[in-house]
Structures are given as structure tokens and as C-alpha cells.
Amino acid sequence: MAARRLGQSYLDYAVDPFISGVYAGDPMALPTRLALPKLYYLEQTYGSFIRGAIAKARQPKTERDRLATKQVFSARGGLQHLVNALGQAIKSEHISLGAKNVDIHPEEDHFCVQFTADNGRMQVIRCAKVVTTCGAYALPRLLPFIDEAQLTAISTLKYASIVQIGVGIARVAGPRYAAFGGLVPSRERQNVLGILFPSACFESRSPADGAVFSFFIGGVHHPKYIEMSDDRLQTIAEEALHTMLKYPTDTPIDTIRIYRHPQAIPQYELTTDARLASINTVQHQFPGLIIAGNLRDGIGMAHRIKQGTDIGTSI
């Protein structure tokens, strides 16, 4: 759609890096309807997304529009603090972490969930509702009572792998970037999909003279990076500091953290319609079972928060 409407270079230098940066995916394999639903809606409703964007900007703002900020935001001190606050609100006695040997099965009018808790004891919970939010790949083991064909349509969702490298520099000797970060078009053939600049966006992420960068490497086209050694990945980050961010070659890295996410980002490809249909069928077949998480309803944090709120208020 983007190439048809705005030309190849818009596809290469705007849509491609956006899809690579957000989905770590292949722009040609992700239908606009599924990957960029807001853009799709504008084209369908207003005939073109530019006309749609202008029309939307002219519409009177609702109270909700006024409250919704377009600013980049995070939790103070990092996202862990958001998770901690949620945990405190729910209370630790209602949370079980590190459950093993999970067995879920439906019984007459409820579900029976058994697992080995982290204290080694077997626990049994009988409940009217079960909500899963793990990745699609984990469902066959958790929900073996579901018809195999239905389950396969859900669990075969493809995920892109990503390596995230956090780099901290105590004293920056080079450009200071006042930006969210940058995404790299695939045709530039770089190792790096994108670089975020958390210390430029959020308080207290680095010393006053320093900076923190977050490099994203891998994606559907480059699954091999997840297998690379830490040394090799560090070299890629060091090279990118010089070639992409224009820091001197001998810029010392004071802190480095490497995180490998083998099943990082779900790819909403054409199989999505069959997956959503199967989720509906299964949820009707087993009332009280809710299959949620990033296998539907969007891939970003905001989507997860909205999904969690919608489920929490509807059950």
C-alpha cells in the first residue's frame, strides 16, 4: 500500500525501518490491515491515509483525546517499578512465580490448575476463569485438552528473535543525541535494526555526562544473531557506536548488558485470521478460558495494558 501510494523510497526509508524496528519483521509478509491497523483504517475510511490523517486532525478532540499524550513515557526508575507496583497491589500471597509442571484441565463447570510452586509444593486451584498470556509457542503444553487442529492454528504463530544490547558510557566524547533513537532501513544492510537513546528521553538513566544506548539486532531476516557469542555481539555494538553514532573508535564502553530474546516479537502474517478464528472457537468451546497475550490485539506495551484492562474489567 505504501509503495502504491507514496513510492518505493517511502517504502524503503519510512515503512521498512518502522516495520523492522517495531516488528523486527518483513514488511512484505505483514499485511497493512494487521501490522498497521490505524493506517489501514484511514485508507479504508477516507480513501487515502494522508487525506485521513488531515481529516482526523480536523476532528474535534474528545476528552480522551485530550488526555492521551503523544509523549514518550516510561515508569520512573524503569519499567520494573511498574511490575513491582502491580505486584504490591495484587499482594504477594496471590502470586505464584516460577510454577513448574503446570497442568490445566476443564472439569464440569470450572478448571483445575495444578502446578509445583517455587517452594517445591504441589498446588491445586479450582477456578471459573483461566487467562493465558504466555507466547503462542507455550500453549500446546499448557492446554493439551484443546483440539489439535485448533491449537496448531494458534501455536504456530511465528516470532522474530532479537538481541538487545544495552551500552552505558560514563563520559561521552562525541555527539549528544536529543532524540528517541533511530531505525535502520534494510537496504542499508547494517547489522543493527535500530538504536534507542533511553538517557536522552528519561531521567536518571545515566550520569549527567554519560549516555545509555540500546541496540537491537536480529529480527526475522537475521536469526543467526541470537546464537552469536557475547564477544562478537559486543564488537558489533562497538563498531556501530563509531560508524552509526559517530563516536571515536576508542570510545570506552563502561557497562554492557546483552539480552537474548529467542521469541521476541510475534509476526502478524496472513495466518492471523485463522489464529483469531481458532481462539474464538476454543473460547466458546471452553467458557471461562481466555487466550490472551501478544498472540492477538497488538504487540506493544500499550496494547498489553489495554488488553489486560479490558479482560480485567470484563470478567
Is there binding between residue 301 and ligand FAD (CB under 6 A)? yes
- Per CB under 6 A, which region of 53-61, 118-126, 202-210, 291-299 contacts ligand FAD? 291-299
Backbone angles phi, psi at 105, to 5 degrees: -145, 145
The DSSP code for 218 is E
* Choice between 52 and 198, CB closer to ligand FAD: 198
Residues 190-219 that bind ligand FAD (CB under 6 A): 216
The answer to whether the beta carbons of residues 220 and 242 sit under 8 Å apart is no
- What 3-state DSSP class applies to 270? coil
Nearer to ligand FAD (CB atom), residue 233 or residue 264: 264
Applying CB under 6 A, the site for ligand FAD has a residue count of 18
Should residue 168 be labelled a site residue for ligand FAD when binding is judged by CB under 6 A? no
**Choice between 116 and 164, CB closer to ligand FAD:** 164
Residues 244-263 that bind ligand FAD (CB under 6 A): 261
Asked whether position 87 contacts ligand FAD by CB under 6 A, the answer is no
Q: 294, 304 in Cβ contact below 8 A?
A: yes
Contact range with ligand FAD by CB under 6 A, out of 35-43, 132-140, 146-154, 218-226: 132-140
C-alpha–C-alpha distance, residues 253 and 67, integer Å: 40
Per CB under 6 A, does 42 bind ligand FAD? no
Q: Kindly give, in sequence order, each residue whose CB lies less than 8 Å from that of residue 32, ignoring residues fewer than 6 positions away.
A: 1, 2, 39, 40, 43
Closer by beta carbon to ligand FAD, 60 or else 98: 98
Residue type for position 175? P
Least Cα distance to 24 among 168, 170, 133, 162 occurs for 162
Among 43-51, 131-139, 201-209, 229-237, the segment contacting ligand FAD (CB under 6 A): 131-139
| Radius of gyration for the alpha carbons in the chain, expressed in angstroms and rounded | 22
Return the residue of 32, 96, 164, 281 that touches ligand FAD, per CB under 6 A. 164
Q: Is 304 in the site for ligand FAD (CB under 6 A)?
A: yes
Our finding on whether 281 is near ligand FAD (CB under 6 A) is: no
Q: Measured between alpha carbons, how far is 263 from 136 in angstroms, rounded to an integer?
A: 10
Indicate the SS3 state at residue 273.
helix
CB of 11 to ligand FAD, least distance (A): 23
Sign of the torsion formed by the C-alpha atoms of 125, 131, 135 and 140: positive
Contacts with ligand FAD, residue ranges (CB under 6 A): 133-135, 138, 142, 162, 164, 216, 261, 264-265, 293-294, 299-302, 304
